[in-house]
Amino acid sequence: MEVNNNNQSARSRRRKNTGIEETLTFRDILDTFVANWFWFLISVILCLAAARLFLATKNKVYQRQAVMLVKDDSSQGGGGRRSNISTDALMQLNGVLAGASVKNEVYILHSFQLAQEVAKNLQLDVMYNIRSGLRNVSLYNDRPFTVNFITDFTVPASFLLNIENSRGGTISNVKFGIPMEKSDFTAKVEWGKVVKTPFGNFIATPMEGQLADFVGMSVGVQRISVENAAIILYNKVTSGEIDKESTLVRITCTDTNIQRADDILSGLLDAYKQSIIEDKNQMAKSTSAFIEDRIGLIHDELSQVEGQMADFKQNSGLVDIKASSDAFIAQSNTARQRTIQAETQYSMVEYLVDYLSQNVEGNNLIPTMGGISDVGITTQIGNYNQMLLQRNRLSENSSENSPTIVDLDKNLEQMKTAILASLRGYSASLKLQVDKARKEEAGLMGSLQSVPQKEKQVIDIARQQTIKETLYTYLLNKREETALQLAITEANIRVVEQPFGSRSPIAPRTKVIMLLALLIGIVVPFAFFQIKKLFDTTVRGRKDIEKFTTIPILGEVPHSQVSINDSEIVVDGDKDDALAEAFRMIRFNMPFINKDARVIMLTSTMPGEGKTFISGNFAATLGLTGKKVVLIDADIRKRTRSRLASMGGNVGLTSYLSGNIDDVSSLIVNKSKECNLDILPAGVMAPNPTELLMSDRLEQLIEELKKLYDYVIIDNVPAQVVADAGIVNRVADLTIYVLRETKVDRRYLPELERLHQEKIFNHLCIVINDSRAKSKKYGYGYGYGYGYGYGSKEKKKGFWSKLFNRK
């Protein structure tokens, strides 16, 4: 008794905070899995099957990569594409971020322009596939034929080419247009011959050694624009720096075909190299054009001077002028050489000044001429050309209004102005040198008064001829140097790693997907049962009752897998199954509630909670101890027990209460001698049941029965339906309230607690009927463990019965 009171006190303390839901424990989760293992198994199997079906529709995706090194190009003179140290410093002074050349190359390497060029070179605008199981497998080098369209692209199209034999096949299932619409067009295909279609003409060429493997199969062919093919390729490729401390760049491609991924990477690297070479050759080509123009001009001038010399010699009759003027010429050789050198440099500078003046508004490269001895001007020209190439390269992937482009244009304009000013200053300096040299030469020539005037003219013509010959020879040498530069230009990159990678696919990730499917298969039913539990407001066992009430629980009657009549007595002295043990436990716990109780009333909330079944079997359980027990059917309105037990006679409880019969023993029906159980039926249906039950004859009846029996069990009406239960309870020593699981809304439990607190029923206690505590593991876990391992006589159910008869 003390233990029971302590438990009740503990439950009373918990009632103070009944509004707070208890947290979900690991035991709750485990119980949910154990109780509903079948549905979890079905869910997991279905999810895993769906995952396998999903994987069967997906192509395997592979990843390949290549690594290249961006080399410093500062030592390659003016022909380089990348920014050297001087250019970087100049860009920093003008507010442009320096040291970003590798990032620029990363962007260019992943540019749409290169992707479009590679897509065109690899003919990725025509795709091939074959059906394998639930997915379309992409074909590349292993395709049976190649389709070459000989007409320009107009609309996207797709068709199936059924390979009939080694001579050709048939196209069908044609779709083309925007959007793609199916067409009834079909045509015969002969290898190597033109096929005319509404979406373009093409020639199908068989692949040697591979066609025979596809005979009788249908190969899908799809044609898209080169731009769309480039977009697809662009999305497959990524590039980036390996780390910040090096100029190594990694380029990665993901594709369903390993060979195609390798070819894409190789194609991008080749196209990237070619673009660098073309950038470097732009300045050399500009210089070459300038030199060719000047060679033509100097050639004409030299021819004119040589013509003058020939005419002069012919007209004057002088054959060996040099023999007449050796002495004077020997003295003026030094002066003449200085004059020639000064006039040569002056002419080159004047050419560059004229070139810059005529192209002041353009963005043309400045020719580099080695004849200029001023190192500062040569450096300025080299830096200008490199910055101009940098500007042109960035403008390919940027807007002309980009801040970087605008800043570069300003810098280029300033540098061109500075170079032009430097050239003009240098030209003026050279002009002074030329004048000075000419004056010195003129002074020497003044001493030639004794030389005939014609000889002096010959010397002047010879001097002009020498100047033109020197300049002409220089330009010819420069043209050869430029041609050699064009022939040996290389890209300033080196491929460190050719395309490589694992041949294991990176997608779909089979293990991850299967694991995810397994988790979903577990989570979905668990969530379903939790949501179902959340919306289920019925009493679900001991835990709910103890949470919302302080009413002691007398016991739990387990759910039965077989159908049992409400009037059936399932307990006897030989049975030790779950039901029998449950009623024995109720009998054992009863003294803890009221050890002196002899009159026990059973009621419930509503009909259908098993009150009649509980009362009969509880009375039989008491009788099995050797006690004499009488069971009263106090439901004089419906007479449920009397009808089920075929005791529908005209005498019973109502006969005594109405005063028609005074001998109680004459109303008793012997039900079971083995259980020492007698029954007092309800009798005839009375028009005034409430008044009968309120009469003093009810107390007299109970007193008479207590003299004859050890226990009086009253099977009463539901307490919440009519007032009879409360009326009869005045004679009860103990009130057993039957609650059926999943029958009563647990929101009624606070009302039941109120009845208990207000002592409306004498020594109120609860019996849980149809308890699923064994299957659900629901409650606190200290239930009675029906059976005790004594070898229940209940027939064990087979596997399929358990599988398809679950509740």
**Residue 470: CA atoms inside 13 Å, Cβ hemisphere, count?**
17
CA-CA-CA-CA dihedral for 720, 723, 728, 732, to nearest 10: 30
DSSP secondary structure of 676-695: TEEEE---SPPS-HHHHHHS
More confident of the two residues 263 and 573: 263
First CA to last CA distance, the chain: 37
How does residue 87 score in pLDDT terms, banded at 50, 70 and 90? very low
Q: Which whole number is the average pLDDT over 405-420?
A: 82
Helix (H) or strand (E) holding 70: strand 62-70
Please state, in angstroms and rounded to a whole number, the distance separating the CA atoms of residues 255 and 62. Answer: 5
pLDDT digits (tens, 9 = 90+) for 630-650: 999 888 887 777 766 656 567
What local confidence, expressed as pLDDT, does residue 629 receive?
Answer: 93
pLDDT of residue 72 exceeding 80, the answer is no
Residue listed under structure tokens 């009469």: 695
Most confidently predicted of 95-99, 196-200, 449-453: 196-200
Please state, in angstroms and rounded to a whole number, the distance separating the CA atoms of residues 698 and 715. Answer: 14
pLDDT of residue 664 exceeding 60, the answer is yes
Q: Which two tokens stand for residue 43?
A: 């869910």
Could you give the 3-state DSSP secondary structure of residue 144? Answer: coil
What local confidence, expressed as pLDDT, does residue 394 receive?
Answer: 80
Angle ∠(411,417,418) on CA atoms, nearest 5: 85
More confident of the two residues 648 and 90: 648
Edge-to-edge strand order for the sheet containing 677-680? 553-558, 764-771, 734-740, 599-604, 711-715, 629-633, 677-680, 669-672
Please state, in angstroms and rounded to a whole number, the distance separating the CA atoms of residues 737 and 717. Answer: 11
Return the number of other C-beta atoms located less than 10 Å from residue 188's C-beta.
Answer: 12
Please state, in angstroms and rounded to a whole number, the distance separating the CA atoms of residues 637 and 643. Answer: 12
CB 768 within 8 A of CB 742: no
Backbone phi and psi for residue 572, each to the nearest 5 degrees, phi listed first: -155, 180
Please state, in angstroms and rounded to a whole number, the distance separating the CA atoms of residues 153 and 391. Answer: 34
Residue listed under structure tokens 């109720």: 586
Q: Are strands 599-604 and 734-740 parallel, antiparallel or unpaired?
A: parallel
pLDDT digits (tens, 9 = 90+) for 328-387: 666 667 777 777 877 887 888 888 888 877 776 667 787 776 667 777 888 888 888 888
b/e per residue 518-539 (b: at least 16 CB within 10 A): eebbeebbbeebeeeeeeeeeb
Please state, in angstroms and rounded to a whole number, the distance separating the CA atoms of residues 165 and 604. Answer: 85
Q: Which whole number is the average pLDDT over 688-712?
A: 91
Q: Which two tokens stand for residue 671?
A: 């039900």
What local confidence, expressed as pLDDT, does residue 780 receive?
Answer: 36
**Which of 552, 396, 371 minimizes the C-alpha distance to 476?**
371
Number of H helices and E strands in the chain, helices first, is: 24, 22
Per DSSP, helices labelled H in 561-607 are 578-593
CB 737 within 8 A of CB 765: yes
Q: Which whole number is the average pLDDT over 726-733?
A: 92
Return the number of other C-beta atoms located less than 10 Å from residue 515's C-beta.
Answer: 12
CB 85 within 8 A of CB 74: yes
Please state, in angstroms and rounded to a whole number, the distance separating the CA atoms of residues 161 and 191. Answer: 12
More confident of the two residues 643 and 722: 722
CB 218 within 8 A of CB 162: yes
Return the number of other C-beta atoms located less than 10 Å from residue 417's C-beta.
Answer: 12
Q: Which two tokens stand for residue 272?
A: 């990237």
Residue 450 CB contacts under 8 Å (≥ 6 apart), including other chains: none
pLDDT digits (tens, 9 = 90+) for 610-633: 898 999 899 999 999 889 999 998
Could you give the 3-state DSSP secondary structure of residue 555? Answer: strand
pLDDT of residue 608 exceeding 70, the answer is yes
CA-CA-CA-CA dihedral for 82, 88, 93, 94, to nearest 10: 20
Helix (H) or strand (E) holding 235: helix 226-236
Across the strands, what pairs with 325? none
Fill in the DSSP letter of residue 61.
Answer: B
Q: Are strands 711-715 and 629-633 parallel, antiparallel or unpaired?
A: parallel
CB 634 within 8 A of CB 603: no
Q: Which two tokens stand for residue 3?
A: 């233990």
Helix (H) or strand (E) holding 373: none
**Which of 384, 685, 145 minimizes the C-alpha distance to 159?**
145
Helix (H) or strand (E) holding 754: helix 749-757
Long-range Cβ pairs for the range 467-471 (8 Å, 24+): 467/340, 467/343, 467/344, 467/347, 468/298, 468/301, 468/302, 468/305, 469/302, 470/340, 470/344, 471/298, 471/344, 471/347, 471/348
Fill in the DSSP letter of residue 193.
Answer: S
Please state, in angstroms and rounded to a whole number, the distance separating the CA atoms of residues 782 and 778. Answer: 10
How does residue 714 score in pLDDT terms, banded at 50, 70 and 90? very high
**Which of 117, 118, 83 minimizes the C-alpha distance to 103?**
83
pLDDT of residue 747 exceeding 60, the answer is yes
What number of residues does the chain have?
807
Residue type, 77: G
Helix (H) or strand (E) holding 569: none
Least confident of 190-194, 452-456, 742-746, 747-751: 452-456
Backbone phi and psi for residue 506, each to the nearest 5 degrees, phi listed first: -95, -15
Could you give the 3-state DSSP secondary structure of residue 456? Answer: helix
Fill in the DSSP letter of residue 327.
Answer: H
Question: What is the chain's mean pLDDT, rounded?
Answer: 81
pLDDT of residue 255 exceeding 90, the answer is yes
pLDDT digits (tens, 9 = 90+) for 539-595: 888 888 998 999 999 999 998 877 777 767 888 767 778 888 999 999 999 999 999
Q: Which two tokens stand for residue 99?
A: 């040291």
pLDDT digits (tens, 9 = 90+) for 506-545: 999 999 999 999 999 999 999 998 888 888 888 888 888 9
Least confident of 223-227, 296-300, 724-728: 296-300
Please state, in angstroms and rounded to a whole number, the distance separating the CA atoms of residues 711 and 629. Answer: 5
Please state, in angstroms and rounded to a whole number, the distance separating the CA atoms of residues 616 and 564. Answer: 13
Q: Is the dihedral of CA 634, 639, 645, 649 positive or negative?
A: positive
Residue 579 CB contacts under 8 Å (≥ 6 apart), including other chains: 557, 558, 560, 570, 571, 617, 786
Report the percentage of the chain scoring pLDDT > 90: 37
Helix (H) or strand (E) holding 260: helix 258-316
| 82, burial (CB in 10 Å: exposed 0-12, middle 13-18, buried 19+) | buried
Edge-to-edge strand order for the sheet containing 194-195? 145-149, 202-206, 194-195
pLDDT digits (tens, 9 = 90+) for 416-470: 888 888 888 888 888 888 888 778 777 766 655 545 566 667 777 777 878 878 8
